[in-house]
Structure 1
Amino acid sequence: MKLLDFSSNMFVVAFFLYCAAFILFAVAVMGRRWSNRDSEAHMKKWGGIAFLGSSLGLIFHLIFFVTRWIGGEHIPVSNMYEFMSFLSMMVMVAFTVVYLIYRKTLLGLFAVPITIIIMAYAAVFPQEVQPLIPSLQSYWLKIHVTLAAAGESFFAIGFAAGFMYLIRTVDFKSKEKKAKKQQRWVEVIFFSIILVISFIATVFIFRSGGYESVFTQTKVTGQVGAQTTITEKVSYKLPPIVGPYHSKIESYEPFLGMSKPLFNAPSWMNGVNAGRKFNTIIWSVLTGLILYGILRLIVRKPLGRAASPLMDGIDADDLDEISYRAIAIGFPIFTLGALIFAMIWAQIAWGIFWSWDPKEVWALICWLFYSAYLHLRLSRGWQGSNSAWLAVIGFLVVMFTLVGVNLVIAGLHSYAGVE
């Protein structure tokens, strides 16, 4: 237990070191405006310090991973907390590799926050070491999951560079129809990121306050004459705007005058966790809109236009090259881990190579998407803006595969762990 406590402390230390590194990257990028002719020297100096900070965070992150492996007696990738923690570590490994190749300080300003957000998201889930179910007790777990996460981490770097390219090249002052369409989609990407951040913040705020409401849900199964009634409890950690379908309140903690849910989940959302998940989506959208509105009031302009000056002086072609190279590195790794080795493991664990499980289907969709990206890039000359949009959309598909499929769609991969 002491080793696991030590491991958790290393996770926290790594998180704050990444936060410090992000601030230093911001100083390196934004401070160059006031450095006049020494702007390049300023960026090089502070960028180097920031990279040392992120590298130190990666060391502590690796210590967390190794000590949790030893303390838990199995590789820590078997539930959502462990997998997302590992994915965030691999994103930082991918960033380190790409940074050492291209030496682009600005990349840290966009890549490091991805790691921070994923780590914060991981912390939402139960952190106890859980025993492995039989299908996970295989060395294929190490091979399949680690390679899949490694490939996805390079996709994350491709996303960061592609998004930077769009912010650099989209004309935020133009009133033309095409330019305004691109401006709106850049803003949609910013809003999507804010939704995730607001969800994490909301969960931690109510968790720190110890909020909990409990419902009992009765479900009748079987045919007429041989029916079975099952009563299950569901605990809400966020105030229930929407209650479970066909349920009764066991305990309800009032919030902002609400003494009961505003409405119940529809019948087609039947299931003990369906209403809670719907409630989570509603809270994420509401808090996301509030946070987005606050940021818009602060900067007094669309977020894309506000971020655009950060890209002044940055070679767009370099960003395009970084995005492509990162995805080119990640694609074969993802192919091995998420498809080939996954099918071998499925045959061993379940006796079938492919079962059309939702997670398998979405992993295939990710692979087909990045296959199309590389085909269009290499055979059709899709570079620049077209390539950047694909890199951004592709990573959004990856994140839905990791988050949406695991938490919303039931399937063989539902063991990933939901509180």
Structure 2
Amino acid sequence: MNIFFFKFSTLLYLLGALAYSSYIIFLKEYLSKSALTVVLVGFAAHTLALITRYAEAGYTPVTNLYESLSFFAWMIIGVLLIANLKYKISVLGALLTPIALILMLFAYALPKEIVPLAPVLRSFWHPFHILFAFLGNAIFALAFCCGVMYLIQEHQLKAKRIGAITQRLPSLRVLDDLNYQSLTYGFPLLTLGIITGAIWAEYAWGRYWNWDPKETWSLITWLLYAALLHQRLTVGWRGRKAAIMAIIGFLAVLFTFLGVNLILPGLHTYANWQ
């Protein structure tokens, strides 16, 4: 049953992404509302997919690449819905929904069988670690989108191209503020994710830190966002610099999440893409 809900939510995310793209092209408000409704239903179906998989597996279903991709996509859509509710920026869906869709399509191609839980994952700290880490990363995806939109909007304004794209994007001030707010929420969550991961590592391997490639790149990612937050608070970094750093930071997140797991051998490597 969990696979059915997973496939259904993937289809709805696809339809939602198409509706958001149509909104960008035609700038019709009903397309934005339709896209939001479809994505919301998709999120509900996705939630059922996670719940039913948990019921069938008997453990938190974030233990392999398929489950991790699905959970990350679910978190991103959840962040999108909350951001849309608070800020009413429809164009965010045109960027975040495709990101979630790509993750879902990647997951769709992977093995989906439920296997017995590995002993190392039987930890009280495992659910907290993945919750903090994935939620922080999903919020960084929001900051990434704000950074991309900021650079596009800035380029359009400097070129004095006050056209369709400029009308669809929020102002530079709004994008910069949302970028900063995303950082202030995402960074503490990433920090908690690393701390709970270290506690879990001590339980599983007898050491809080093993300099595993995943741990090392998590630290690199943390340092990138720490530097950005420090510069914003002390030097007053805003605008273009902050947007570029938000983009670089999320690229580091993606490499830490996927690149390290699939390329570099270590404790977090997904064997045979399972």
Aligned match of 2:176 in 320, 326, 331? 320
Letter in 2 for 1:55: L
Check the 8 A contact 1:125/1:417 in 2, yes or no. no
Check the 8 A contact 1:21/1:53 in 2, yes or no. yes
CA RMSD of aligned residues (A): 1.9
Q: Does 2:24 align with 1:29?
A: yes
Check the 8 A contact 1:407/1:414 in 2, yes or no. yes
How far does the alpha carbon of each residue in 1:249-288 deviate from its partner, in whole angstroms, 9 at most, with x for none?
Answer: xxxxxxxxxxxxxxxxxxxxxxxxxxxxxxxxxxxxxxxx
The corresponding residue for 1:348 is 203
Shift of 1:416: 6.2
The corresponding residue for 2:241 is 386
- What is the CA–CA distance in structure 1 between the aligned matches of 2:271 and 2:140, rounded to whole Å? 22
- What is the CA–CA distance in structure 2 between the aligned matches of 1:98 and 1:416, rounded to whole Å? 35
Letter in 2 for 1:347: E
The structure with the largest helix share of the pair is 2
Aligned match of 1:402 in 251, 257, 274? 257
Aligned match of 2:3 in 8, 23, 27? 8
Match runs of 1:140-155 below 5 Å:
140-155=125-140
Match runs of 1:200-349 below 5 Å:
309-312=164-167, 314=169, 315-337=171-193, 339-349=194-204
Aligned match of 1:17 in 12, 30, 34? 12
- What is the CA–CA distance in structure 2 between the aligned matches of 1:56 and 1:327, rounded to whole Å? 28
Letter in 1 for 2:68: F
Q: What is the aligned-residue identity percentage?
A: 37
How far does the alpha carbon of each residue in 1:377-402 deviate from its partner, in whole angstroms, 9 at most, with x for none?
Answer: 12111111111101111000000001
Q: Does 2:230 align with 1:375?
A: yes
Check the 8 A contact 1:152/1:330 in 2, yes or no. yes
The corresponding residue for 1:48 is 33
Q: Does 2:104 align with 1:119?
A: yes
- What is the CA–CA distance in structure 2 between the aligned matches of 1:146 and 1:76, rounded to whole Å? 12
Check the 8 A contact 1:95/1:111 in 2, yes or no. yes
- What is the CA–CA distance in structure 1 between the aligned matches of 2:209 and 2:226, rounded to whole Å? 20
Match runs of 1:34-183 below 5 Å:
42-43=28-29, 45-170=30-155
Cα distance, 1:320–1:172 mapped onto 2, change above 3 Å: closer
- What is the CA–CA distance in structure 2 between the aligned matches of 1:103 and 1:171, rounded to whole Å? 22
Check the 8 A contact 2:156/2:166 in 1, yes or no. no
Counterpart secondary structure, 2:273 = coil
Normalised to the residue count of structure 1, the TM-score between the two structures is 0.62
The structure with the largest strand share of the pair is 1
- What is the CA–CA distance in structure 2 between the aligned matches of 1:318 and 1:8, rounded to whole Å? 39
- What is the CA–CA distance in structure 2 between the aligned matches of 1:415 and 1:26, rounded to whole Å? 34
Check the 8 A contact 2:262/2:270 in 1, yes or no. no
Cα distance, 1:311–1:171 mapped onto 2, change above 3 Å: closer
- What is the CA–CA distance in structure 1 between the aligned matches of 2:86 and 2:74, rounded to whole Å? 19
How far does the alpha carbon of each residue in 1:336-371 deviate from its partner, in whole angstroms, 9 at most, with x for none?
Answer: 01x110111111111111111110000111111111
Cα distance, 1:12–1:311 mapped onto 2, change above 3 Å: farther
- What is the CA–CA distance in structure 1 between the aligned matches of 2:168 and 2:7, rounded to whole Å? 35
Paired positions, count: 271
- What is the CA–CA distance in structure 2 between the aligned matches of 1:410 and 1:352, rounded to whole Å? 18
- What is the CA–CA distance in structure 2 between the aligned matches of 1:416 and 1:54, rounded to whole Å? 32
- What is the CA–CA distance in structure 1 between the aligned matches of 2:211 and 2:267, rounded to whole Å? 10
Normalised to the residue count of structure 2, the TM-score between the two structures is 0.93
Letter in 2 for 1:8: I
- What is the CA–CA distance in structure 2 between the aligned matches of 1:24 and 1:127, rounded to whole Å? 29
Check the 8 A contact 1:80/1:416 in 2, yes or no. no
- What is the CA–CA distance in structure 1 between the aligned matches of 2:97 and 2:25, rounded to whole Å? 16
- What is the CA–CA distance in structure 1 between the aligned matches of 2:252 and 2:22, rounded to whole Å? 32
Shift of 1:415: 4.3
- What is the CA–CA distance in structure 2 between the aligned matches of 1:409 and 1:144, rounded to whole Å? 21
- Runs ≥4 in structure 1, deviation > 6 angstroms? none
Where does structure 2 lack aligned partners over 5 or more consecutive residues? none
- What is the CA–CA distance in structure 2 between the aligned matches of 1:313 and 1:133, rounded to whole Å? 48
Computing the radius of gyration from Cα coordinates, the structure with the larger value is 1
